[in-house]
Amino acid sequence: MIKLTVNGKTHEVDVDPDTPLLWVIREWVGLTGTKYGCGIAQCGACTVHIDGVATRSCSIPVSAVANNQITTIEGLAQSGTPHPVQKAWVALDVPQCGYCQSGMIMAVAALLKENPKPTDADIDAAITNICRCGTYQQVREAIHAAASA
Amino acid sequence: MNAMPKFNRRTFLVSSVAAGLSLGFHIPFSDEAHAQDATPEVNAWVVIKPDDTVVIRIARSEMGQGTRTGLAQLVAEELQCDWSKVTTEYPTPGQNVARNRVWQNFSTGGSRGIRESNEYVRKGGAAARMMLIQAAANDWNVPVAECRAENSVITHQPSGRSTTYGKVAEAASKLEAPKDVPLKAAKDWTIAGKPLKRLDTVAKTNGTQVYGLDIKLPGMLVASIKESPLLNGKVKSFDASKAEGRPGVRKVVQVGDNAVAVIGDTFYQTKTALADMPIEWDGGENVKVSSDTIAAMLKEGLGAEQAFVGNKAGDAKAALASATKRVEAVYSYPFQAHATMEPMNATALYTPERCEVWCPTQNGEAALAVCAEAAGLPVAKCDVYKQDLGGGFGRRGMSDYVRQAVTVAKQMPGTPIKLIWSREDDMTHDFYHPISQCKLSAGFDTAGNLTALHMRISSQSIMAYVFPQNLQNGMDPAVFQGLTPNSPEGHFGYSIPNLLIDHAMRNTAVRPGFWRGVNTNQNAIYVECFMDELAHATGQDPLAFRQKLLADHPKHLAVLNAVAERAGWGKPAPAGIYRGLAQFMGYGSYVAAVAEVSVNNGQLKVHRIVAATNSGHAVNPAQIERQVAGSFVYGLSAALYGECTVKDGRMQQENFDTYEVMRMDEMPKVETIVMPSNDFWGGVGEPTISVAAPAVLNAIFAATGKRIREIPLKNHDLKTA
Ligand code: FES
Ligand code: FES
């Protein structure tokens, strides 16, 4: 049994300790907002916060995070109020297919916590998630919008 | 046991509800549809609930391109409903079949969603409006001509009485559909043609959007699959005992003659069990296939006698022989993977009486046909529930993964099984952008006029693989996208007195498919980079050179002029920055782009893109801008990195570490000029991608003097000596 705290709720899962956190979140905890895109820490679709730090959950075994606070896209809003990044995403109509956007939003939320007014260069360095639909231009605008909200 | 604790009641309804097609219209699963209950439809396109909610039925698949919102705008425009009350739902392919294809074509590809269906969906909205007004007029016992509708409210003008759509919808649903249904002119639009926000954004920002990969059904298991890593290979043998008995593994099954699947509780369990299971493959002759053997075969086609003619004027060969000056070049384009963000997947539930599939698909009816075939059941006993796609780009027009899911599920009747491809499965079992080479020869007269052009394409045909029945006496007309004399789909804009564009078909063991932009991608590179070469070879400005040759094609010329003007062509660029341009026509639309790049120490940076598109009508200019910008990310990813190579009969790239794509730091701002001329209907999702690569390649030439004739750029050293 591995104990796991996701979005403030503790779960006990009877799972192979090597199972990537991503699949435990999706299949054992049942939260599917966190996406699978590559499984090798390349695309960022699986990004969650571990103790507030953006982390690619496909490449970290569940056993490594038993004592940490995990936040997924479902837990980003605070008591029903969307996070400023989510608000900016809606205001600027960022998503196309949307599949990469959970990871994108989680990565951006973590960036803004550390660096509330990122420059374009800061964004380029920090946000390396892949979006095949090519929403990068809207993502950049929305980051700036969220930063000045 | 399956570890999924969550249980969605609506999913439970699926089998029972969908089984009763004739009882009414129920779309299980769509978030927007569940409350619909028994409200009768006004017609196939429109349902209005007593609370005035407007449900618009969307036949095409939403994969990010915005077709849901655009099609809803067209229906709502004629319906004259309150846009803030609009929701949408997908009819199922099974319902379409059962209702004599009342929603017509479900296939979502070729940038056809809006241009092909605009008229009948608008008529659907207009007819519903007429019926709603009629119902109100009947109720009030007044002439219908005295009533009008606006914003979901119907008013009887003389008396000032009014009612809402929701109140008369039930009565309207019993009326006969009007026969004569006039449509508004585009200039009178108030909902269509406007840059409205998408209808489906919020769920994509909070994790609630359900993609195929997120489907949950009671008692569901998952399956991982290993399809032959050898091109068209077969399963020789496998040792199931190595997987059976492992935690979470339920069953090992062969899938057709070319794959093995492990069914189990969760993906990590099935995937690791499958990886540890020895499987032997028979690749036959194809194990000798490599990128080199394929390139040699294509090269032979460049000089072959026999070729299909796609465009011909005058006598190009004779004119070339007598030309004062000749220029020649050979270009090539590699295999490329779609790499949709969401890997292929499908969930199937088979019983001997019925088979259902939940999946992301661009072609719901094809998926239904494949489901029925694989299940061995009549179509009437099957259905497909389309999920929004985590990207399509042409890949999901194919139904191979649906066939696999049904074949797996058939081996465990009564248990829903979600087949999940890994990224590696996805990238090595794509239907790839076809490989192609092209030899171009041009001739000039003494005055420097371009008198002859011969373009010999040697390439793989998608049609020959996917729809062989559509070949015309062996010829694949789609190879000539953008190069034909007068196709409304995309014709060649340059007037050259002696012209020959022909194709030597050279099919390979790698299966080809439709890949966003399809054959316009390589055709635009060939034509537009070579035009650039010709301009430079004769000391002419690339813009002026093209303008002269495009004089007979004002729409081609207009988009080209628009980007040139916006980018400041002819005026000095900022220090160190160089420009390139390109124009093309595809999917019924006219597109052009200027790219501004710098190359320092061999390092390419794209600083700015100006892109123009004339798609005839612009149903949602804001979404068009996003499609254009997104096209450049997709197209420039292809130009910079996109290449799938073959060695010993295997595809070599398996994931994003070796098949790189553009990320944010590389993507410049795209300035989009949406310039509809309002006299035709063109596509949007694909046309602009074609000019992305040639505009950048031409700018690289301007910056470095290096002419890149083979993409991807990652294989080239851009350092200048
Ligand atoms: S799925 Fe984790 S980075 Fe791609
Ligand atoms: S929005 Fe589709 S992959 Fe990013």
- The ipTM (two decimal places) reads 0.98
Q: Which amino acid is at B63?
A: M
* Smallest Cα distance from A6 to chain B, Å: 14
Ligand 1 site residues, Cβ closer than 6 angstroms: A 36-39, 41-46, 56, 58
- List the one residue out of B42, B651, B99, B65 whose CA is nearest residue B362: B65
Q: Give residue B389 CA to ligand 2 midpoint distance, Å.
A: 10
Looking at all shown ligands, the one closest to residue B360's CA atom is 2
pLDDT at B18 (0 to 100): 34
pLDDT tens column, B636-669: 999 999 999 999 999 999 999 999 999 999 999 9
Q: Are the C-beta atoms of residues B394 and B338 closer than 8 Å to each other? A: yes
B391:A124 CB<8 A: no
pLDDT at B114 (0 to 100): 86
Looking at all shown ligands, the one closest to residue B389's CA atom is 2
DSSP secondary structure of B69-111:
HHHHHHHHHHHT--GGGEEEEPPPHHHHHHTTSTT------TT
Q: Which domains does chain B have, with CATH numbers?
A: 39-201 (3.30.365.10), 212-283+344-420 (3.30.365.10), 291-336+432-715 (3.30.365.10)
pLDDT at B9 (0 to 100): 31
- List the one residue out of B416, B418, B413 whose CA is nearest residue B401: B418
Q: Which value, to the nearest 10 degrees, does the dihedral of the CA atoms of residues B329, B333, B334, B338 take?
A: 170
Q: Which of B201, B338, B341 to mutate to test the pocket of ligand 2 (most atoms within 8 A of CB)?
A: B341
Pair of tokens at residue B342: 């969401």
The label of the residue with tokens 């009969």 reads B649
Q: Can you tell me whether residue B328 is helix, strand or coil?
A: strand
Looking at all shown ligands, the one closest to residue A99's CA atom is 2
Looking at all shown ligands, the one closest to residue A35's CA atom is 1
Asked if B626 reaches chain A (Cβ–Cβ under 8 Å), the answer is yes
Residues of B in contact with A134 (CB under 8 A): 629-634, 662, 667
CA distance B694 to B710: 11
pLDDT at B112 (0 to 100): 86
Residues of A in contact with B692 (CB under 8 A): none
CA distance B39 to B452: 65
Q: Which domains does chain A have, with CATH numbers?
A: 2-74 (3.10.20.30), 84-148 (1.10.150.120)
CA distance B388 to B64: 8
| Atom 3 of ligand 1, residue of closest alpha carbon | A41
Residues of B in contact with A130 (CB under 8 A): 341, 656, 661, 663
B4:A27 CB<8 A: yes
* Smallest Cα distance from B268 to chain A, Å: 6
Asked if B210 reaches chain A (Cβ–Cβ under 8 Å), the answer is yes
Asked if B343 reaches chain A (Cβ–Cβ under 8 Å), the answer is yes
Asked if B268 reaches chain A (Cβ–Cβ under 8 Å), the answer is yes
Strand order in the sheet with B578-586: B578-586, B589-600, B603-614, B669-674
Q: Which residue of A has its CA nearest to B672?
A: A137
* Smallest Cα distance from B428 to chain A, Å: 13
CA distance B29 to B435: 40
Q: Which of A36, A73, A138 is facing B206, going by the closest CB pair? A: A73
pLDDT at B30 (0 to 100): 39
Report DSSP state, residue B63: S
Of the two residues B28 and A143, the one the predictor is more confident about is: A143
Asked if B1 reaches chain A (Cβ–Cβ under 8 Å), the answer is no
Helix B113-140, helix B67-79: angle, nearest 10 = 30
Looking at all shown ligands, the one closest to residue B205's CA atom is 2
pLDDT, mean of residues A117-125: 98
CA distance B645 to B714: 14
- List the one residue out of B59, B58, B66 whose CA is nearest residue B628: B66
B4:A30 CB<8 A: yes
**Mean pLDDT, 10 residues at a time, chain B of 721 residues:** 34 32 33 54 97 96 94 97 97 96 92 88 97 98 97 97 98 96 96 96 98 98 98 97 96 98 98 97 96 98 97 98 97 98 98 98 97 98 98 97 98 98 98 98 95 98 95 96 94 97 98 97 98 97 98 98 98 97 97 98 97 96 95 97 98 98 96 96 93 98 97 94 62
Q: Which of A82, A96, A134 is facing B632, going by the closest CB pair? A: A134
Ligand 2 site residues, Cβ closer than 6 angstroms: A 95-101, 131-133, 135; B 64, 341, 391
Cβ pairs A/B, distance under 8 A: 188
- pLDDT band at residue A62 using 50, 70 and 90 as cut-offs: very high
**What backbone torsions phi and psi does residue B634 show, to the nearest 5 degrees?**
-65, -45
> Closest ligand 2 atom to the C-alpha of A95?
1
Q: Give residue B566 CA to ligand 1 midpoint distance, Å.
A: 39
Residues of B in contact with A131 (CB under 8 A): 341, 633
Q: Which amino acid is at B158?
A: P
Listed in sequence order, the residues at least 6 apart from A119 whose beta carbon sits closer than 8 Å to its beta carbon are: none
> Closest ligand 1 atom to the C-alpha of B656?
4
pLDDT tens column, B567-578: 999 999 999 999
* Smallest Cα distance from B140 to chain A, Å: 43
A39:B655 CB<8 A: yes
Report DSSP state, residue B25: -
| Paired residues of B251 in beta bridges | B263
pLDDT, mean of residues A51-77: 97
Q: Give residue B57 CA to ligand 2 midpoint distance, Å.
A: 24
pLDDT tens column, A75-101: 999 988 999 999 999 999 999 999 999
| Paired residues of B264 in beta bridges | B222, B249
Q: Give residue B591 CA to ligand 2 midpoint distance, Å.
A: 23
pLDDT tens column, B271-317: 999 999 999 999 999 999 999 999 999 999 999 999 999 999 999 99
> To probe the interface with B, which of A49, A97, A144 has the most B CB atoms within 10 Å?
A97
With residues binned 3-state (H G I as helix, E B as strand, rest as coil), the percentages for chain B, rounded to 5, are 35, 25, 40
A93:B626 CB<8 A: yes
A102:B207 CB<8 A: yes
Number of H helices, E strands in chain B: 17, 27
Q: Which residue of A has its CA nearest to B247?
A: A16
